[in-house]
Chains A and B, each alone.
Chain A
């Protein structure tokens, strides 16, 4: 039963002429009458609704029949159409296959077109930004202090952000993730009993399923204060609650399952014959791993590490919560630094005019990040693919 059609016909009736024009009151009266007409309540609560009940009931009845009629007509028409189409030379199966294929194609296009749209929006907004601020300043300037209003020359230098991103994502996080991830992969593939492996591997993979905001809490509330106290104890100056080290370490932990599972795959892809060959020469398992398995698996592992880096530099929540927002160019890991992603969040949250250079800078930074991660991914996938071919 279509409520819109029913209400329209009720409003067209005589009894509705006295209804107030004011929206809420009118709506309350109408819905009161409708509820009584449909048997949802015993009697009207607003006296003005009483005369409308009958109209509602009648109109509801009428449209119910019309609806049934329309449905039957549609079903018959559909049945007739289908009947006329049944012919000896009609290939129903291939037609269905084609339709299914089209649906699947559309589904995959959704993802591709969305990506394309994102790139275009990044590109257009970045072009607007680069009209206000020259690209050279963003890419090579060393002072980051964007202000609202007309862009002040020399305040949109991206180098401190890029440095912070590299320090946290590519240096500190990798110092944590690469050795731990590699060693756990070696343990799981070479030493672990199958029963241990059955338990440890899923546990490691759970790490990858923890929401990044939870890592963020952990970094900001647990790791960062502990590190600051530790730094203060050592007498390191500028030790801050927001430190590159806290964000980097937690990010490294987050990336461990990533590195470990890529390394696991690469080591497993090295043929068993290679391992047997080394063991049969009297090499210890340790020598076999270090001198045969890891060198043979290295290209795949490298690809995995590059993918991990591209994930780390795009990671946002941890750095927003733990790394801070002050654009420092420092190699002191206990100091606060900021990253590209943290700045994008800062630039876009809160009330912003959409045409100021400050807001548009977020898109330009996003574009830089996108290009860098894209390149990393392409190189990584190339390496991984080439390596896979070598053993097939």
Chain B
């Protein structure tokens, strides 16, 4: 890996020498990576390579796992997110997350999207909240489908709609980074296509990091790709380079389907 690949003019998040341990087991070994502000960054790699673990350390969701420990340095806008002075709650409001399986709350569609803005006190007036909800749902491409049934339960939507609802919920608090952990793995191809389209539209508004199993998806949606294997970062660079001209033998073997 050469230095030029890592250089991003305006990084949103920077990770340096990051190790993640689950108890005795080391899941991530010395990973350094920069996440660009206006870019979609994809993490690819075989199952168990640590890409989801690394993603979860970017908004400290690993804190909720008993026995998890992170060492090294991860910065958001130059501020160390593992510093004692960092407010985890504030961090997670700035670095939002969309999960593998759609996980809407058992509340109405409206309340699902309004949940974040409410707890952060973003909308003092009902009208402000209505505006935030409408804007988030519109950005998530769900507004036209649900505008007449905002009071219905979020869990009554289809899988693809639920996932877009979760994206709307995540962007309703106006985060700076959106982390997506295999957001399409539980969805059919049509719903997947809609989510990918959505990622294209959201690019530039948020820094997006997406973990995916699907290499075609990484090639379609991202500008930067990082290939993880056995807890290490094997190669990181422009997506076009990774897929057309990988430097590392292991990357080449993986993307040509020799293993994984």
Residues of A whose CB lies within 8 Å of any CB of B are 194, 271, 273-284, 287, 291-292, 295-296, 390
Contacts and interface: CB of A to CB of B under 8 A. Distances in A.
Nearest to B63: A279
Nearest to B104: A277
Contacts of A295: 106-107
Interface in B144-184: 166, 169-170, 173
Contact of A281 (B64, B106, B107, B170): B170
Contact of B89 (A275, A276, A277, A283): A283
Q: Is the interface of A mostly helix, strand, loop or mixed?
A: helix
B64 A278 contact: no
Contacts of B103: 271, 273-274, 276-277
A282 B105 contact: no
B64 A279 contact: yes
B52 interface: no
Nearest to A270: B106
Contact of B64 (A194, A276, A284, A390): A276
Nearest to B99: A273
Interface residues of B, number: 27
Nearest to B94: A282
A292 B93 CA distance: 17
B33 to A, nearest CB: 20
Interface in B51-85: 59, 61, 64, 66
B71 to A, nearest CB: 22
Contact of B96 (A275, A280, A291, A390): A280
B64 A296 contact: no
Contacts of B94: 282
Interface string B87-125: 001111110110101011111000000011001100000
Nearest to B169: A281
Nearest to B59: A280
B179 to A, nearest CB: 8
Given A273-B99, A280-B61, A281-B173, A292 B89 contact: no
A291 B119 contact: yes
Specify which of A279, A280, A283, A296 lies most central, judged by the most chain B CB atoms within 10 Å of its CB. A280
A278 B105 contact: yes
Given A194-B66, A295-B107, A282 B101 contact: no
A298 to B, nearest CB: 10
A271 B92 CA distance: 20
Contacts of A390: 106
A282 B61 contact: no
B64 A282 contact: no
Contact of B92 (A279, A291, A292, A296): A279
B119 A281 contact: yes
A276 B119 contact: no
Nearest to B111: A291
Interface centre among B94, B106, B116, B170 (most CB of A within 10 A): B106
Nearest to B117: A281
7 shortest interchain CB distances as A-B pairs? A282-B93, A280-B97, A273-B103, A282-B92, A281-B116, A277-B103, A282-B89
A273 B186 CA distance: 14
A296 B115 CA distance: 14
Contacts of B166: 277
Contacts of B61: 276, 279-280
A276 B99 contact: yes
A283 B97 contact: no
B241 to A, nearest CB: 31
Contact of B105 (A194, A277, A284): A277
A116 to B, nearest CB: 40
A277 B92 CA distance: 11
Given A271-B103, A274-B105, A279-B64, A284 B170 contact: no
